[in-house]
C-alpha cells in the first residue's frame, strides 16, 4: 500500500490535519500539535497554513 498524506478521520480535533501528518510521519499526533502551536505562536503562519492544508488535503477514505 502506498503511503499518502490525508486528513485523519480518527485522530482529529478540528479537521484532522495534524492527525494526518502524524500518521504519515508515523509519530504521535500530540507531538505534531505541539509543534504546530509553537509555529503559530512564533511565526504566526500556522493558522493560515492549517486552513490551506484543510482545503488541499483529501479526507482519509473509510475502511
The mean pLDDT value for 41-61 works out to: 90
Is residue 54 over pLDDT 70? yes
Quote the CA–CA distance of 38 and 54 in Å, as a whole number: 19
Is residue 59 over pLDDT 80? yes
Contacts of 50 (CB under 8 A, 6+ apart): 14, 15, 17, 36
Q: Which pTM was predicted?
A: 0.85
Quote the CA–CA distance of 23 and 60 in Å, as a whole number: 11
4-47 per-position pLDDT tens digit: 899 988 888 889 999 999 999 999 999 999 999 998 999 888 88
DSSP state of 21: H
Is residue 63 over pLDDT 80? no
Amino acid at each position: 500500500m502506498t503511503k499518502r498524506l490525508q486528513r485523519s478521520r480518527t485522530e482529529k480535533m478540528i479537521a484532522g490535519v495534524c492527525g494526518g501528518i502524524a500518521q504519515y510521519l508515523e509519530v504521535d499526533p500530540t507531538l505534531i500539535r505541539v509543534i504546530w502551536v509553537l509555529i503559530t505562536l512564533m511565526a504566526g503562519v500556522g493558522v493560515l497554513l492549517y486552513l490551506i492544508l484543510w482545503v488541499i488535503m483529501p479526507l482519509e477514505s473509510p475502511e
